[in-house]
A = this chain, B = another copy of it.
Amino acid sequence: MRTLTALLITLTFSAVTAAAPLPSWSDNPTKTAITDFVSAVTTEGSPDFVPASERVAVFDNDGTLWVEQPMYTQLAFVIDRVKTLAPEHPQWQEEQPFKALLEGDLDALKASGMEGLLKLVAATHAGMTSDDFARIASDWIASAQHPRFERPYTQVVYQPMLELLDYLRANGFKTFIVSGGGIDFMRPWTEQVYGIPPEQVVGSQIEMEYQVLEGVPSILRKAEIAFVDDKAGKPVGIQRHVGRRPILAFGNSDGDYQMLEWTTAGSGKRLGLILHHDDKSREYAYDRDSHIGRLDKGLDDAESNGWLLVSMKRDWSQVFPPSSEPQK
């Protein structure tokens, strides 16, 4: 009986959700385009109907689900880790890219290039077990704060996107993250924050090796890049992990171009969306000239490719979730 009551509550709640989906989206053609798409693919008998098992929706993470300015969150993590570990590595005071990073010299950091990046990955993401890294990432995300909004990074996620994820799942979609960021950096918190479980997170990966270390079965993280889930890597990452072509893709930069292209080239009804950061007062405004989340070709081609440009300023009535902390 308790179960039945719970089900009835769920039904009632679902009915309410269905009546007013996406409350933080402005009532305008962008929202209508999304709800029309979902209606079309979920209405049995509709020529655009898609069975639930084929309702795959993929979302970029940085700049699509959460803030990526003034720097990728994972870079903030790297900086904090290097600072934390620096006392054990006195040579870093003179060794690039550590010296640049510890001195906040971003130009020197950039100049260290791929070689520098691999050294940072080795120092902060490798040389420990997968369990240890998950704990390190979890501890950091629980304590670090976004410098401008002064709240945890898990609270500078976009409220309208949380609502969209919920709305799609309520309509039988499976939601996936397909991010250029590190897969194991995201997985410890995506289920709690986005409702997306670890196996539905696709991202860049380093090599790993299974070993029994002093009697303890362990997965060891190695300082070698195994897969870069960006640009043309995104459709490949989707094929590797999901094994089905999505019917909806949502990104924010040219790194998502191929994912949008692959998704919307499929037969039947498809929806490609690009979040345009044009809201300097509530978040940030950037596109063609930004080093982070550069959106150039996608901006040129969105209309001819049939992709919907979502304007943060115009289409979102609220940007962040309400916080228990005072918001600055």
What is the CA–CA distance of A86 and B216 in the complex, to the nearest angstrom? 50
Contact A239 B219, beta carbon cutoff 8 Å: yes
Name the residue on B nearest A200 (C-beta). B199
What is the CA–CA distance of A234 and B201 in the complex, to the nearest angstrom? 19
Contact B183 A210, beta carbon cutoff 8 Å: no
A96 interface contact, C-beta 8 A: no
A16 interface contact, C-beta 8 A: no
What is the CA–CA distance of A73 and B216 in the complex, to the nearest angstrom? 35
Name the residue on B nearest A263 (C-beta). B217
Residues of B with C-beta under 8 A to A127: none
Residues of B with C-beta under 8 A to A187: 243
Interface residues of A in 196-239 (CB under 8 A from B): 197-201, 205, 208-212, 216-217, 219, 232-236, 239
Residues of B with C-beta under 8 A to A200: 199
Contact of A210 among B3, B198, B219, B236 (CB under 8 A): B236
Quick one: which of A8, A187, A198 has the most chain B CB within 10 A? Answer: A198
A197 shortest CB reach to chain B, Å: 6
Residues of B with C-beta under 8 A to A210: 232-236, 258, 262
Contact B261 A236, beta carbon cutoff 8 Å: no
Interface residues of A in 1-56 (CB under 8 A from B): 3-4, 7-8, 11, 53
Chain A contact-residue range equals 35 or more
Contact B261 A130, beta carbon cutoff 8 Å: no
A205 shortest CB reach to chain B, Å: 6
A185 shortest CB reach to chain B, Å: 11
What is the CA–CA distance of A4 and B4 in the complex, to the nearest angstrom? 10
Contact B191 A174, beta carbon cutoff 8 Å: no
Contact A265 B217, beta carbon cutoff 8 Å: yes
Contact A219 B199, beta carbon cutoff 8 Å: no
A287 interface contact, C-beta 8 A: no
Name the residue on B nearest A211 (C-beta). B232
A263 shortest CB reach to chain B, Å: 9
Residues of B with C-beta under 8 A to A242: 198-199
Residues of B with C-beta under 8 A to A297: none
What is the CA–CA distance of A261 and B212 in the complex, to the nearest angstrom? 9
- A53-B197, A205-B240 given. 11 additional CB < 8 A pairs? A4-B8, A176-B199, A187-B243, A198-B242, A199-B241, A199-B243, A199-B244, A208-B240, A209-B236, A216-B265, A219-B239
**Residues of A with Cβ closer than 8 Å to B?**
3-4, 7-8, 11, 53, 130, 174, 176, 183-184, 187, 191, 197-201, 205, 208-212, 216-217, 219, 232-236, 239-244, 258, 261-262, 265
22 A-B contact pairs sorted by A residue (CB < 8 Å): A3-B11, A7-B11, A53-B191, A53-B197, A130-B239, A176-B199, A183-B243, A184-B243, A198-B242, A198-B243, A199-B199, A199-B200, A199-B242, A199-B243, A201-B243, A210-B235, A211-B232, A216-B265, A217-B262, A217-B265, A219-B239, A241-B241
